[in-house]
Structure 1
Amino acid sequence: MHGVNANSQRVTRPGTGSVLGRLAVPAGILAAVVGAFAYVGAVDPNEPGHYPTCPLLQLTGIYCPGCGGLRSAHAVAHGDVLAALQDNALAVAGYGLFAVVWTVWVVRAVRGRPFRIDPGPVQLWAAGALLLVFTVVRNLPFGGWLHP
């Protein structure tokens, strides 16, 4: 609805701005992600001294769900998906999920439709369970194939 509010300011419907205006935030997010991948692609996490070590791994010897994530991102930045999967398969799935969600966001923005991620309790519990199972399995003897 177009109209005037109590402060005499023009009120517009969501999604009625310019396409470039609606794409500003997704473009900014993509720029940040590309910048992060470019940095990790240029500064090799396989070389000691560039990044801090995982405190959980350092103190306990237990791989957290993020262990190997930087090496995985480095491999993706260099186009080596197999190495990325070997470093952290869950991170690679996360990169794919990000790509899908970002694409849906852009398509909805171009069409002038709102985009909102609102996971319910079932989705949040499922995500937590996935992280927990991944962490436990990668630290068991038979889960050695999930070690970074």
Structure 2
Amino acid sequence: MPPVPASRLRRLVTPVGILAVVVAAFGYVATVDPNEPGHYPVCPLLALTGLYCPGCGGLRSAHAFAHGDIGAAFGANAVAVVGYFLFAVVWVLWMVRAGRGQPLRIGLAPVYWWGIGAALLIFSVVRNLPFGSALAP
């Protein structure tokens, strides 16, 4: 006897739940301004070395993004903004596939993962150099 397929509602619970968590997180960051000191912890790499990691400025970027200021969001952390849009695309793809009863499979070859890592490393190095100060938060 074949297994009974999950109902459409049940298949959509996980992507909708993930979106709810992301919206709640953005809502919190939109409400509690990371530009005011004392609300969030300092980046450990920044505190120990004075260097910006790829995530530095991410909370300020999310705050600006939540308020609709895409320019300020890019200024705080361009990689984070790209990540927000990538999340949106993957989430929509996930919802469509879940609605059809298909699993979400994003199989990237190792070369792509290495490429993403290299891009983040280059972003981190450049934003810490004098000519890359426009990428610093």
Q: Which residue of structure 2 aligns with residue 125 of structure 1? A: 114
State the alpha-carbon separation in 1 of the partners of residues 56 and 65 from structure 2: 15
Give the Cα separation in 2 of the matches to 1:106 and 1:52: 34
Partner of 1:7: none
Aligned to 1:33: 22
Match of 2:130 in 1: 141
Q: Which runs of 5+ in 1 are unaligned?
A: 5-10
Residue 103 (structure 1) aligned with residue 84 (structure 2): no
TM-score (norm 1): 0.89
Count of residue pairs the alignment pairs up = 137
CA distance in 2, matches of 1:90, 1:126: 14
Q: Which has the higher helix share?
A: 2
Q: Which runs of 4+ in 1 moved over 6 A?
A: none
The higher radius of gyration belongs to 1
1:113 matched residue in structure 2: 102
CA RMSD in angstroms comes to 1.0
Cα offset, 1:125, TM superposition: 0.3
Q: Distance in 2 between matches of 1:26 and 1:55?
A: 31
Residue equivalent to 2:60: 71
Whole-angstrom CA distance in 1 between matches of 2:42 and 2:113: 28
What whole-Å deviation, never above 9, does each CA across 1:107-127 have from its counterpart, x for those lacking one?
Answer: 111112121233221111011
Q: Using the alignment, how far apart are the partners of 2:68 and 2:8 within structure 1?
A: 32
Greater Cα offset, 38-47 or 120-129: 120-129
| Correspondent of 1:88 among 77, 85, 100 | 77
Q: Which runs of 5+ in 2 are unaligned?
A: none
How many angstroms apart in 1 are the aligned matches of 2:51 and 2:29?
23
- Report the CA distance between 1:23 and its aligned residue: 0.3
* Structure-1 residue corresponding to 2:8: 19
Q: 2:32 aligns with which of 27, 37, 43?
A: 43
TM-score normalized by structure 2? 0.96
Amino acid at match of 1:116: R
